[in-house]
């Protein structure tokens, strides 16, 4: 790939140029700020062109192509530490680049319509381009430090975009929270880099992956653990996931791009990138799997209880990321990356669909205000929705397709990737720590059931039944006439993503399925593609077992959907949820209160630190540290005030003193 690697810097530079064009023009010229479509088109092109370049690279590259690197210049150098601004083109980085720029370009295009009503989209688009730039650095970097630049860079863009509507303090709170929780993870990541450098004297991926034998298993565990903590921040896993649901405060295209399709998968990416390193410690693998499975489960339970449609999707994202981590921990890197790709398709589709719904609900509220009615409702709350399928047909159809995909119904995209994860988790159950892996597999199966259930709860609650806004707020009677679907620029993106959600799974059809019928077993395109880069655990299951697992997961998904229809088919979700709450009692309460994790962090870490600093340290600083300085000064002043009485200015006193002094000196000399 050496001949093509010189295209990589262009792929990265173009979004940066887009950022500067929009940012500087917007800052400098007031008139540019009103040219909303222009700024949107510039930004979209700044992502679409890199996508086309990436497609070209994809066509030129084969599964067995050697990886290639390009180094632009030395970044940081001191003593024997040196790191380049260098990029690495291989199957894994190109796959991520395709997803980031492909899905990214679609979402940029969608945002032109979505942000049309905003007052300063130039800024929005500038930040979006900057995000793509940072994300591409993250996935294409050939060393840990440059990856870290992207890693923190995407965190910054996430901060800027979550808090995009910064005049709302709650939104800027959410932005700050996201940044700080990520920083906790970044701290661990930083220490991991220090340890790696100490051990092998380099931070380049080549050095790490070719020098795995230089690490002891303990070192792998510690370093891997620190990277894992970093990943739990960025990819919203236990214990650092609490920022992601709040991050939904940002504009919906941001949620789709950053908090569903791309940034949050960077933890999965980095662990896949280091697969042969991570594989050295089975305990580390187990830990990753445990975190993944529990995150998947816990987030799913919370998702069951949400009414905010974006919150459901947010928890669903956390849950799906948990599945990816389970895959990583089971040694199934291909499956994890597979799920990254398919999840990018259907979750982006779902988020953008929810954006379309919110857009419509906003419009209703706006129109009611125009009528002079003082009606206020949360346009993201599904209790005020229902029956929208009549009014938003395109949104409904695409949303439904993506829901079926995430629920895991064949042959849609989510089915194949999720099934592969379950198979691989089961497979890991036959290896070391098998019993625990079996438990995780069972937990994941339950989670898969819940996924199908809560996603259909969401779809049914939003699009089926009757439009509940007029029922809940009498003043809003007849408001359904204001409901209409989004413009074509927005729905077209939904359709593209829905199409990808249907066919996306075919890149990773399990070999055994085809092998059963034809005997050839080399159809898994993704697995072949990533073969050189990731080091997967060996699949030891027999074909019948795999078939059983496959049917099992279909059955689980179908039953989840069935139960959802049974409960929410045409009903108001609130009444049904109250029935569930009554049935599950305290357990439901825990889910509904999100396990009180926010309160625990606030109460045990944040508040004590702030109080300690405020009540103890700041006081100590003034009273003790500065007080001691003042004390020394006052001792000097006191001494002076005593001694000065000897300076009477009266000559006689001095004469007496002189005489006394002479007597003392003489007597000392004499005796």
Partner 1 sequence: MELLLNIVIYLPLFGVLLLLLVRKDEWVRWSSLLITTATFVLSLPLLLQFDITATGSAQYLTVGEPFLGDWDVKYMVGLDGLSMLLFMLTTFMAPIVVLSSWSSINKHVAGFYSMLLILQTGSLGVFAALDLFMFYVFFELTQIPMFFLIGIWGGKDRIYATVKFFIYTLVGWLLMLVALIYVGYAAGNMVNDGVFTTDWRLLTDHAFQLGLVEQTWLFLAFGFAFCIKVPIFPFHSWLPLAHTEAPTAGSVVLAAIALKMGTYAVLRYLIPLFPNAAIAFAPMFAVLGVIGIIYGALVAMVQKDVKKLVAYSSISHLGFVVLGMFAFNTIGAQGAIIQMVNHGLSTGALFIIVGMLYERRHTRWISDFGGIARKMPVFTVMFMIATLASIGLPGLNGFVGEFLILVGTFNSEVLGSYWYAVIGALGVILAAVYMLWMFQRVMFGPVTNEENNKLTDINAREIGLLIPIMLFIVWIGVRPTDFTKYSEAEVTHLLEDTRTRAATIAQNTADDRLPGWASRLYDVTPQMVSNVKHENQEE
Of 632 and 657, which has the nearer Cβ to partner 1? 632
Tell me the closest approach of the beta carbon of residue 644 to partner 1, in angstroms: 19
Of 34 and 168, which has the nearer Cβ to partner 1? 168
* Interface pick for partner 1 out of 31, 59, 78, 646 (rule CB under 8 A): 78
Of 152 and 420, which has the nearer Cβ to partner 1? 152
Gyration radius of the chain over CA positions: 31
CA nearest neighbour of 205 among 536, 535, 533, 537: 533
Of 34 and 626, which has the nearer Cβ to partner 1? 626
| Residue 534 vs residues 48, 209, 269, 372, 651: alpha-carbon distances, Å | 28, 11, 11, 61, 97
Stretch that binds partner 1, among 36-44, 55-63, 74-82, 389-397 (CB under 8 A): 74-82
| Residue 264 vs residues 48, 135, 182, 260, 381: alpha-carbon distances, Å | 21, 10, 11, 6, 24
Cα 495 to chain centroid, rounded: 24
Of 123 and 343, which has the nearer Cβ to partner 1? 123
For CA atoms 580, 582, 587, 590, give the dihedral sign: positive
Tell me the closest approach of the beta carbon of residue 472 to partner 1, in angstroms: 28
Of 229 and 337, which has the nearer Cβ to partner 1? 229
Taking CB under 8 A as the rule, which mask of x and - marks residues 123-162 in contact with partner 1? ----------------------x--xx--xx--x--x---
| Residue 492 vs residues 42, 352, 496, 498, 632: alpha-carbon distances, Å | 19, 11, 6, 10, 76
Of 155 and 408, which has the nearer Cβ to partner 1? 155
DSSP 163: T
Do residues 404 and 505 make contact, with C-beta atoms less than 8 angstroms apart? no
639 touches partner 1 (CB under 8 A): no
* Interface pick for partner 1 out of 625, 658, 660, 662 (rule CB under 8 A): 625
> What residues numbered 513-532 form the site for partner 1, per CB under 8 A?
none
Taking CB under 8 A as the rule, which mask of x and - marks residues 188-227 in contact with partner 1? --xx--xx-xx-----------------------------
Of 75 and 595, which has the nearer Cβ to partner 1? 75
Taking CB under 8 A as the rule, which mask of x and - marks residues 365-404 in contact with partner 1? ----------------------------------------
Tell me the closest approach of the beta carbon of residue 154 to partner 1, in angstroms: 11
**Which two structure tokens, joined as six digits, stand for 330?**
């089971």
Of 182 and 275, which has the nearer Cβ to partner 1? 182
Of 190 and 514, which has the nearer Cβ to partner 1? 190
* Interface pick for partner 1 out of 3, 31, 59, 79 (rule CB under 8 A): 79
> What residues numbered 23-52 form the site for partner 1, per CB under 8 A?
27
Q: How many residues bind partner 1 (CB under 8 A)?
A: 51
> What residues numbered 159-178 form the site for partner 1, per CB under 8 A?
159, 163, 166-169, 172-173, 176
Tell me the closest approach of the beta carbon of residue 167 to partner 1, in angstroms: 5
**Which two structure tokens, joined as six digits, stand for 601?**
């962090």
* Ramachandran category for residue 333: left, alpha or beta (phi over 0 → left; psi -120 to 50 → alpha): alpha
| Cα separation, 417 vs 396, whole angstroms | 24
| Cα separation, 340 vs 270, whole angstroms | 12
58 touches partner 1 (CB under 8 A): no
59 touches partner 1 (CB under 8 A): no
Q: How many CB atoms lie within 10 A of CB 104?
A: 32
* Ramachandran category for residue 285: left, alpha or beta (phi over 0 → left; psi -120 to 50 → alpha): alpha
CA nearest neighbour of 55 among 115, 111, 4, 119: 4
Stretch that binds partner 1, among 187-195, 407-415, 543-551, 595-603 (CB under 8 A): 187-195
**Which two structure tokens, joined as six digits, stand for 470?**
């007029």
| Axis crossing angle, helix 573-584 with helix 434-463, rounded to the nearest 10 | 150
| Cα separation, 598 vs 177, whole angstroms | 11
| Cα separation, 129 vs 126, whole angstroms | 5
559 touches partner 1 (CB under 8 A): no
Tell me the closest approach of the beta carbon of residue 620 to partner 1, in angstroms: 9
Tell me the closest approach of the beta carbon of residue 171 to partner 1, in angstroms: 8
* Interface pick for partner 1 out of 116, 183, 287, 470 (rule CB under 8 A): 183
Largest separation between any pair of C-alpha atoms in the chain: 125
Tell me the closest approach of the beta carbon of residue 652 to partner 1, in angstroms: 35
Tell me the closest approach of the beta carbon of residue 567 to partner 1, in angstroms: 41
H, E, C per residue of 367-424: HHHHCCCCCCCCCCEHHHCCCHHHCCHHHHHHHHHHHHHHHCCCCCHHHHHHHHHHHH
CB-hemisphere CA count at 13 Å for 288? Answer: 39
634 touches partner 1 (CB under 8 A): no
CA nearest neighbour of 495 among 409, 401, 410: 401
Of 566 and 617, which has the nearer Cβ to partner 1? 617
640 touches partner 1 (CB under 8 A): no
* Interface pick for partner 1 out of 587, 600, 618, 657 (rule CB under 8 A): 618
Residues near partner 1 (CB under 8 A) are: 27, 73-81, 85, 145, 148-149, 152-153, 156, 159, 163, 166-169, 172-173, 176, 179-180, 183-184, 186-187, 190-191, 194-195, 197-198, 609-610, 612-614, 617-618, 621-622, 625-626, 629, 633
């Amino acid at each position: 790939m050496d001949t093509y690697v010189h295209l990589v810097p262009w792929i990265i530079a173009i979004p940066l140029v887009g950022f500067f064009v929009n940012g500087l023009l917007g800052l400098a010229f007031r008139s540019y700020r009103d040219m909303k479509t222009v700024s949107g088109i510039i930004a979209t092109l700044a992502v679409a062109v890199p996508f086309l370049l990436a497609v070209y690279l994809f066509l030129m590259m084969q599964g067995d192509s050697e990886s290639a690197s390009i180094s632009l210049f030395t970044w940081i150098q001191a003593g024997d530490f040196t790191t380049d601004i260098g990029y690495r083109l291989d199957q894994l980085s190109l796959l991520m680049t395709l997803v980031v720029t492909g899905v990214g370009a679609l979402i940029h295009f969608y945002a032109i319509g979505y942000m049309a009503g905003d007052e300063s989209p130039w800024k929005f688009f500038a930040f979006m381009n900057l995000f793509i730039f940072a994300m591409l650095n993250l996935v294409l970097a050939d060393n840990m430090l440059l990856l870290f630049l992207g890693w923190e860079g995407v965190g910054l863009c996430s901060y800027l975009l979550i808090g995009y509507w910064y005049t709302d303090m709650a939104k800027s709170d959410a932005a700050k929270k996201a940044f700080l929780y990520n920083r906790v993870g970044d701290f661990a990541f930083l220490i991991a880099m220090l340890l790696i450098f100490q051990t092998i004297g380099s931070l380049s991926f080549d050095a790490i992956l070719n020098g795995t034998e230089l690490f002891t298993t303990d070192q792998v565990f510690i370093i891997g653990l620190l990277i894992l903590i970093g990943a739990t921040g960025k990819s919203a896993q236990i214990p650092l996931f609490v920022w992601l649901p709040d991050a939904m405060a940002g504009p919906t295209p941001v949620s789709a791009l950053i908090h569903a399709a791309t940034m949050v998968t960077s933890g999965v990416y980095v662990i896949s990138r280091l697969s042969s390193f991570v594989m050295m410690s089975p305990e580390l693998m187990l830990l990753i799997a445990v975190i993944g499975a529990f995150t998947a489960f816990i987030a799913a339970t919370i998702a069951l209880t949400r009414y905010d449609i974006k919150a459901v999707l947010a928890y669903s994202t956390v849950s799906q990321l948990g599945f990816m981590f389970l895959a990583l921990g089971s040694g199934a890197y291909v499956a994890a990356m597979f799920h990254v790709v398919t999840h990018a398709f259907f979750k982006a589709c779902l988020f953008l669909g929810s954006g379309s719904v919110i857009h419509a609900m906003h419009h209703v509220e706006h129109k009611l205000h125009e009528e002079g009615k003082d009606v206020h409702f949360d346009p993201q709350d599904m209790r005020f929705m229902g029956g929208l399928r009549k009014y938003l047909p395109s949104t409904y159809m695409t949303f439904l397709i993506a829901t079926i995909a995430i629920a895991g119904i064949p042959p849609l995209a989510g089915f194949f990737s999720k099934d592969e994860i379950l198979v691989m988790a089961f497979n890991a159950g036959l290896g070391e720590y098998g019993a625990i892996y079996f438990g995780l597999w069972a937990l994941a199966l339950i989670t898969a059931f819940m996924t199908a259930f809560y996603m259909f709860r969401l779809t049914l609650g939003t699009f089926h039944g009757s439009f509940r806004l007029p029922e809940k707020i009498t003043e809003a009677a007849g408001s359904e006439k204001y409901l209409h679907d989004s413009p074509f620029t927005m729905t077209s993106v939904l359709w593209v993503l829905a199409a990808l959600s249907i066919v996306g799974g075919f890149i990773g059809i399990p070999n055994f399925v085809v092998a059963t019928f034809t005997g050839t077993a080399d159809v898994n395109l993704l697995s072949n593609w990533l073969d050189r880069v990731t080091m997967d655990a060996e699949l030891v299951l027999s074909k019948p077992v795999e078939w059983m697992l496959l049917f099992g997961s279909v059955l689980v998904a179908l039953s989840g959907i069935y139960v959802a229809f049974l409960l929410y088919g045409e009903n108001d979700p609130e009444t049904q949820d109250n029935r569930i709450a009554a049935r599950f009692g305290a357990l439901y309460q825990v889910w509904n209160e999100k396990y009180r994790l926010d309160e625990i962090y606030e109460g045990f870490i944040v508040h004590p630190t702030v109080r300690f600093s405020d009540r103890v340290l700041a006081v100590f600083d003034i009273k003790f540290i500065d007080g001691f300085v003042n004390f020394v000064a006052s001792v000097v002043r006191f001494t002076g005030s005593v001694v000065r009485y000897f300076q009477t200015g009266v000559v006689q006193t001095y004469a007496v003193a002189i005489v006394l002094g002479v007597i003392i000196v003489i007597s000392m000399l004499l005796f």
